[in-house]
A and B are shown apart, each in its own frame.
Chain A
């Protein structure tokens, strides 16, 4: 029993030496008397002392107090009781090897607990402990054994990394550290995966210290190995998701989700892992514009970096440049050669129209996705070379025929064209305008519904050739090609044999044209990828810098100092490493993700281990901390001591006589505590409400009825209050929840009102109250709590919260609003701000329109309403330790800081009014004063 006992702070036991002193003090020292010089001392001395004070404490009370002191000292020494391990570890140094890879992330807490138990046991046994982590690291830690207490703190600081372990690399370092021939206990907490090196690693560990090492391998069951997500693919316009696992006979279902940048789930699919199969596939089908919003795909309930796949620009952003041969007819846009193409591509891409060759060169170098040329026959030679190089690197050149092309062509066309072209259905032709024939199965257009109304009047004709047929993507009813394409290098050249406007056919007027262009767009490379290699010099300027990195658990974190930028040339081949952790990287406007992409081979369970290694499961052998019990016992003794003191002083009897009265008092107190509402009279309550809110400035929020939202509002305003106290002279009290129907609101300078999508307009009485409040200088801060990138807003609709806001403010007397102008007082009330982010950053902040914030509002020139959408309270919300409660989107400390600053400015503005606006007059005033 006592063997398993250890102390975390053993020096506190030295306090036990003070026990005799305490005993002596308790026994002999009466309380220090008050000293009084007293003239009639003689009279006092003549008094025979009638009462002799007992100076001696009874022995049992002494014992009680000594026990109390001893218990406190023992508790402060923080004893731990652990039943086993300590004896086994005694003697030899302990080496703890931890797989801190992604695969260990899911049950990391359990692993950490096991490790802490181990370190605590080592501490009891008094052996030094070395800690080694198998994940590669940019700055490898010291492997030498150290005091168990230090090792414990190192263990606690370990976190799973979004990396594959490098066990053999670690083994090399261990071999140089552990060279003497003394005994060594090695405990390896494995993540359960083979990683191609488990057996070799175990053998290497056994060979440490000249073969003197004992090896214990701790590993969870193979079923506990987490699932991984293979790289998604786009297949037929759908996103193909695949989940991987180790061989298992279980029938599992896992849900994969596609998440938008603000964390909203856009779509999900269930992947069924059949018994015996290691891979399950599923499809996520989203409209292109929503697919572009997907920022990551993840497997739910899998806490690991391997279950997350980040989608970057390559998955969504495509750039298109449009060039036309003829000058633009801006006066007649419908005749413009590129009007229909640009209208068709606009929703899905970024469109630019380079005016000069240099613009074009820049764009090609920056990695253009698609270059559309309308009716350009022959390009100038330098542009031709430029475009040719770009196409061969992967660009997609989309050309449309026209009179100029019919006259002459350059080599950048998929098929050889006949001179002239072909007119159908004209006055001098026998032929009638041709419709299209259904798309071939091999064509990228396969599956599109044929629009029978489309007819072609003129076209350029392809010269018949042996290799023509595979190049044809669409053809007319008579078999002549309408769309041809050819692979050039890595790129593609696509030619429409008609014009891009309605001159030659009504194809551009049909919906099918849009669908065809979208199919072509799917084939185009993503922005920034096509022209990277070769043209870009890998300078640091051009490097991708890490913005957000993935932790082993699949959470985003700010990049550590070890994370280095990746040269643009290497970004396509970069694999996660200590210096290039998995995560999102930026270069200018481009975003690239480095994912911990795993193949099936990476998920092989750990194979057979060499004979010397003992394998055990991940059960805990926890050390029981005894301190809480000791403290509890000490508290009980203290109570006992109090009772004894009362009894000794004779007050016990008096207590007894007053027992009836005391019982009544206690009952009353209990009754008041149990049923506070009963005691509260309505008037007293409202007086109390008024008093508490006028004696101290308080921020208020409107109760929405949704407990979660209300709690967030409360936490948010409390957090903002903390910030205000820290940074400004405003010291608000606890935030107050107001019910508009019930409570008086005139006491509050600012009322925060989160609008839920189902919010209803307040009652007429409440509306009257609100109107009075606004008229008399109050400020209401509405928050629709939604990201700008809401599904509805993407669809061009109005979101539910906005509708609700309209319902709420419909009857309110609110003057015209405008987005906060750059010179508004809100931008300078305390901090200088130009944007007002909250939890989201894209929402606009609206205030009353007027001159520089001194608009038509109330007498102070303070706007009566502020309308924002960024879920400000969530950004401000802090837990009791001052840590933020909700992640910001897209995130980062900077956005949080600016959210705080926005809150500070809004409160300052509500409290000080146009004071800052008046500051602009200060120079004039000073001048007038002759300063």
Chain B
């Protein structure tokens, strides 16, 4: 059953990402990575694809001599392959209970939308032969369709847990893409993100929120309850709270944006009543580096 759900989610994500050109991760940012991928670096180096023959010069590794080529002439040639490398995209979707929230204004819950977006991005990355993995999971970074399926399955079956990822050491030059509502106290968010971004990992934050969370559309006497806790609050006249609340919500968002800016990550907002393709375009641009950071900041 869950497998079928994972397949369905995967398919939907594939459909969504199929509308975009293959995702290309900036090559020069990851030039030094040791992991060999299939992106030709237009220069010789470790790789599997033939790049050029070159006359042997002193100091070259003898094992690199191509004897077939050398036999056809008097000189000795060395066979050089093209240098190939791949990036790793670390995805994170908030497993918090709060992500199950879906108001009357939205058609899907926040978590559902976040998973869909994550998988769509993953699908794009796999198509571009990027390695994809889930932050905090034991999935090895991989770039195959079965891996994508496993990823989808892990996303669906992930138990509700801590709202933010624990400090984890990621390989240098990885890219982290985090989907969540980021409604936690800004201090906790700063701590969590700071630890991830510590060794130069690039990152993108997408705040997925429900329209009701932004606007507080309720009227009259409403008892607000915590999603996974005992806290309640009874508002006598909800409409009178609306302006203050909206200001508060904007303040929270500004503070999160501030945190991401400080660690050099990007920040985007997605509302569940919007079309998912729009944010996917934006992410594609962000991760593919088609836009400058300044542009990113302006776009969102």
- Interface residues of A, Cβ cutoff 8 Å to B: 30-47, 49-53
Q: Are A38 and B225 in contact (CB under 8 A)?
A: yes
With contacts A37-B101, A47-B241, A47-B245 taken as known, whether A53 is within 8 angstroms of B236 at the C-beta atoms is yes
- Which residues of chain A are near B183, meaning CB under 8 Å? 39-40, 42-43
Q: Are B240 and A50 in contact (CB under 8 A)?
A: yes
Number of A-B contacts (CB under 8 A): 83
- Which residues of chain A are near B248, meaning CB under 8 Å? 43-44, 46-47
How far, in angstroms, from A44 to B244 measured CA to CA in the complex?
9
Q: Are A33 and B234 in contact (CB under 8 A)?
A: yes
18 A-B residue pairings within 8 Å (CB atoms): A30-B221, A33-B223, A34-B220, A34-B223, A35-B223, A35-B225, A36-B218, A36-B225, A37-B101, A37-B227, A39-B210, A40-B249, A41-B225, A41-B226, A42-B185, A43-B183, A44-B224, A44-B241
With contacts A47-B244, A50-B240, A53-B237 taken as known, whether A37 is within 8 angstroms of B225 at the C-beta atoms is yes
With contacts A36-B218, A50-B244 taken as known, whether A41 is within 8 angstroms of B249 at the C-beta atoms is no
Tell whether B167 is near chain A: CB-to-CB under 8 Å.
Answer: no
Q: Are B101 and A41 in contact (CB under 8 A)?
A: no
How far, in angstroms, from A39 to B207 measured CA to CA in the complex?
14
- Which residues of chain B are near A46, meaning CB under 8 Å? 248
Q: In terms of DSSP, what is the predominant structure of the interface of chain A?
A: loop
Known: A40-B252, A45-B231. 12 other contacts (CB 8 A): A34-B221, A34-B222, A36-B222, A37-B101, A37-B226, A38-B101, A39-B98, A39-B213, A41-B224, A43-B252, A47-B248, A50-B244
Q: Are A44 and B245 in contact (CB under 8 A)?
A: yes
With contacts A39-B183, A50-B244 taken as known, whether A45 is within 8 angstroms of B98 at the C-beta atoms is no
**Minimum distance in angstroms from A851 CB to a CB of chain B:** 67
Contact check: which of B212, B218, B233, B244 meets A45 at CB < 8 Å?
B233
- Which residues of chain B are near A35, meaning CB under 8 Å? 222-223, 225
How far, in angstroms, from A39 to B114 measured CA to CA in the complex?
16
Q: Which of B210-258 contact A (CB under 8 A)?
A: 210, 212-213, 218, 220-227, 231, 233-237, 240-241, 244-245, 248-249, 252
Interface centre among B110, B236, B240, B241 (most CB of A within 10 A): B236
Closest chain B residue to A31, Cβ basis: B221
Closest chain A residue to B99, Cβ basis: A39
Q: Are A39 and B252 in contact (CB under 8 A)?
A: no
Q: Are B222 and A41 in contact (CB under 8 A)?
A: no
With contacts A37-B226, A51-B237 taken as known, whether A43 is within 8 angstroms of B249 at the C-beta atoms is yes
**Minimum distance in angstroms from B20 CB to a CB of chain A:** 30
How far, in angstroms, from A42 to B225 measured CA to CA in the complex?
10
With contacts A37-B101, A41-B231, A43-B248 taken as known, whether A51 is within 8 angstroms of B236 at the C-beta atoms is yes
- Which residues of chain B are near A41, meaning CB under 8 Å? 224-227, 231, 233
How far, in angstroms, from A32 to B225 measured CA to CA in the complex?
15
How far, in angstroms, from A34 to B252 measured CA to CA in the complex?
26
- Which residues of chain A are near B181, meaning CB under 8 Å? 39
**Minimum distance in angstroms from B254 CB to a CB of chain A:** 13
Q: Which of B101-133 contact A (CB under 8 A)?
A: 101, 110
How far, in angstroms, from A53 to B221 measured CA to CA in the complex?
10
- Which residues of chain A are near B223, meaning CB under 8 Å? 33-36
Contact check: which of A33, A37, A38 meets B221 at CB < 8 Å?
A33
**Minimum distance in angstroms from B109 CB to a CB of chain A:** 10
How far, in angstroms, from A47 to B235 measured CA to CA in the complex?
11
With contacts A50-B240, A53-B237 taken as known, whether A43 is within 8 angstroms of B245 at the C-beta atoms is yes
| CB 8 Å contact bits of B68-92 with A (1 = contact, 0 = none) | 0000000000000000000000000
How far, in angstroms, from A43 to B185 measured CA to CA in the complex?
10
How far, in angstroms, from A49 to B222 measured CA to CA in the complex?
14
**Minimum distance in angstroms from B185 CB to a CB of chain A:** 8
- Which residues of chain A are near B249, meaning CB under 8 Å? 40, 43
**Minimum distance in angstroms from A746 CB to a CB of chain B:** 50
- Which residues of chain A are near B231, meaning CB under 8 Å? 41, 45
Q: Are B227 and A44 in contact (CB under 8 A)?
A: no
How far, in angstroms, from A903 to B177 measured CA to CA in the complex?
81
Q: Which 9 A-B pairs have the closest CB atoms?
A: A53-B236, A39-B98, A33-B223, A33-B221, A38-B224, A43-B248, A34-B222, A39-B101, A37-B225
How far, in angstroms, from A30 to B240 measured CA to CA in the complex?
18
- Which residues of chain A are near B233, meaning CB under 8 Å? 41, 44-45
